Structure 1
Amino acid sequence: MGRGNPTLGLAIMAGSTLLSNFQDNTTEIGEALGIDELRLFPTIVTEPEEQASVLGLAAEAVFDITNDFSISFSRVFAADAPWRYNLIYRLNDQILVRASTNLSGESQLLVEYEARF
């Protein structure tokens, strides 16, 4: 969770809870702008020079191409990080495959598993 920092992990959980209260309003704003899903979420920002991690705020705008395939743009606002461009494919209700790049040489492929309880 907090990459070995339990306080930071708890802060992320609390931030997720607080931001979820605003998600309905954020979704309505996104729909008014023609965005299928607009998300705000807490994230960890690592400062390599200072060997420290802090809690940051990120946003993602998702545009659905089909029910299973989407493109999105995301950015962490607390860091001097470039925009990320994402291709998202939903295999099923639990598994999501995300290919991501910042067009500056950093690319990644993620497989996300979600279980709600």
Structure 2
Amino acid sequence: MNTTYIVIAVLVAVFLVVLTIYLMGFKNWLVWAVSEAEKVLGSGTGQLKLRLVYDMAVARFPILAKIMPFKVFSNMVDAALKIMNEMIKSNSAIAETITNKIEGEDDEI
């Protein structure tokens, strides 16, 4: 009986480690997806960007998208947005890539 509990505990531990690694990869992917959505749709389009990122996630991670409630997904996207904004503030090359603007460039033609 002790052996059964040990085997179950080990299997649960392995599952949790694999799940954690998978979610870490998913979080990194979300930062990329949010950045891509920002490039495509620009600022002020929050709900459209959320929908685009969700559609991308369903295509890329079908199992995770099916088991994760949308509210949890939305919260993870918010966290990814914070990371992206920190990256934009701390690195002008990233800011230029995401916003497609060069410092000093006028929008007028």
> What TM-score comes out, normalization by structure 1 length?
0.27
Higher relative contact order (CA 8 A, sep 6+): 2
> What TM-score comes out, normalization by structure 2 length?
0.29
Instruction: Looking at secondary structure, tell me which structure has more strand per residue.
Output: 1
Q: Which has the larger radius of gyration?
A: 2
